[in-house]
Structure 1
């Protein structure tokens, strides 16, 4: 995502943004918090329903939380500048994208023990995803503006895909297509995961500098989030079909296929916008959930329908500098319907 260090934290007006819950939306709210502690910024977090775990990137390591006990059950160390985590339960493996030294860490899916280090040819790997159709890992490099493709079974680098801009989050359809937000161009690029080639791209304006991306695989819709707006795209028609007003400073989005809900985590506002999908081009906000300022990244457990986000407490801002994070205040927020 765009920043590994915490965002400039503003006083949250979440209570003022809260809206009444409509009859067709669950009553999402923060039910409890899990103190993770430690120092350093954060980026993506990934909920894995199969293992009941949440993987939380945190500066130089990945904290692993058991969602049944709300306890830390593991740690993947030595991942400098870690941005993302990709998981392949079918292969018993996982990967982290380490932006600071431009490497990928391969780890055992069950034990979390590191297995290998991949020194990939790109610069500053950020988003990372596993494509089950080809059993390949795609790591997206923010500084070199490309994607590196890795054979998930052998850890060998298969190729490099120029993207013509700064890639952000990516999603797959499980059938051989992948889509990635291109932040500095305000567009989406489509990649054939078998040929490893860009097959299309289109503008998603008025969505500028897109970060988070989610997919409705059944109805073929992509959800990109930008400051104050969510753009809904038809990847087959290669165009935006709807836009929705969301909160400020979003950095992640998620889609709950069973409930037909789209979520955007807004770090500046300290809220999560809940959007109802009621047709291929019909989307409306049904709830705004207060969270906490700085809670900009998010993940969804699609089985339990629980959302997770992270943030911290900060010292008062000093002119010209980012506010310092208070020691050991890094916290996972659990948001349940």
Structure 2
């Protein structure tokens, strides 16, 4: 990878590839930064990787059509969004044992655990709503909170708010975890079809968009603060060490974004790996993790069509951030 002098630091470096057996289909990757574990949603299972040793330590299964996992360390549980069965899986964090399956909305995609209320929220892409579940009793508290469109990735601030992209209307939605209601929406224009989302310590939000830009917004004011060009095919975003990251899967690049003068954002795009479109960070270890595979041929960048993967080549990239 090339030096990123324009954003004030050296580019992140690919330091390791962790092979993961099984099908070459995946979606979100999430992290428990206290336990330094990475959760890789992987078709019908979730692979759990120890971020310190870079070794697989657990597998959560069955998770039919899983899109994401939400660890709840205070409850020793992990929750999964099972898109093929319209359900949420509940697993023991230590043993990986399936404890319960809870029915939620149609095609749950993103999933978030809110430690403040001890509630889990699934963001359901086909029913255009959010389901709220008590993470302790596993009782459904709100079966269908209208999202106002197709919900995508979500982040929680730990203070009672969850922010999530709405893909088809290019908006940001704000969910109050106490009242279990949507309190506001605001436009992310000029973003088209926002998917991946990250949040910085100031609670500014970084949405990656189908039209190859990242928009930065302030939910406290409900406004877009800036935009930065990225590559094509991003489906995730991360924040670490003062930078936002966009993994551009179709282009095989990684865009690093930093604020220059207040309210002005700049980015540098460097080579990464084709297919690496989702990402998560462990700030204490100063590492990023992005799943991908090897591919038979390039994807169609004009139509954002993902390429066909070579069987048995699924892997997790470990990318170190210079400090």
Which shows bigger deviation, 180-189 or 36-45?
Answer: 36-45
SS in 1 for 2:205: strand
Per-residue deviation, 1:288:
2.7
Decide whether aligned partners of structure 1 residues 86 and 322 sit closer, same or farther in structure 2, where only a CA change above 3 A counts: closer
| Residues 1:126 and 2:109 aligned together | yes
RMSD over aligned CA atoms reads 2.0
SS in 2 for 1:90: helix
Paired residues of 1:46 and 1:54 also in contact (CA < 8 A): yes
Q: Deviations over 1:244-297 (max 9, x none)?
A: 1111111111112xx211111110111111111345512211x43322111101
Q: Which residue of 2 aligns with 1:138?
A: 121
Q: Deviations over 1:15-43 (max 9, x none)?
A: 7xx56445832431111111113114100
SS in 1 for 2:26: coil
Decide whether aligned partners of structure 1 residues 170 and 284 sit closer, same or farther in structure 2, where only a CA change above 3 A counts: same
Residue ranges of structure 2 left out of the alignment (5+ in a row): none
Q: Which residue of 2 aligns with 1:186?
A: 170
| Residues 1:164 and 2:156 aligned together | no
Residue ranges of structure 1 left out of the alignment (5+ in a row): 1-14
Paired residues of 1:29 and 1:289 also in contact (CA < 8 A): no
Decide whether aligned partners of structure 1 residues 297 and 199 sit closer, same or farther in structure 2, where only a CA change above 3 A counts: same
Q: Which residue of 1 aligns with 2:266?
A: 284
1:101 & 1:220 partners in 2: Cα distance?
Answer: 33
Q: Which residue of 2 aligns with 1:155?
A: 138
Determine which of 177, 202, 214 is the counterpart of 1:230: 214
Q: Which residue of 2 aligns with 1:101?
A: 85
**Following superposition, which runs of at least 4 residues in structure 1 exceed 3 angstroms of deviation?**
18-23, 316-324
Per-residue deviation, 1:111:
2.1
1:54 & 1:86 partners in 2: Cα distance?
Answer: 11
Larger RCO (CA under 8 A, 6+ residues apart): 1
Q: Which residue of 2 aligns with 1:69?
A: 53
SS in 2 for 1:165: coil
Q: Please show how residues 298-337 of structure 1 align to structure 2 within 5 Å.
A: 298-316=279-297, 323-337=307-321
Q: Which residue of 2 aligns with 1:5?
A: none
Per-residue deviation, 1:193:
1.0
Determine which of 68, 80, 84 is the counterpart of 1:84: 68
1:51 & 1:112 partners in 2: Cα distance?
Answer: 15
Paired residues of 2:153 and 2:165 also in contact (CA < 8 A): yes
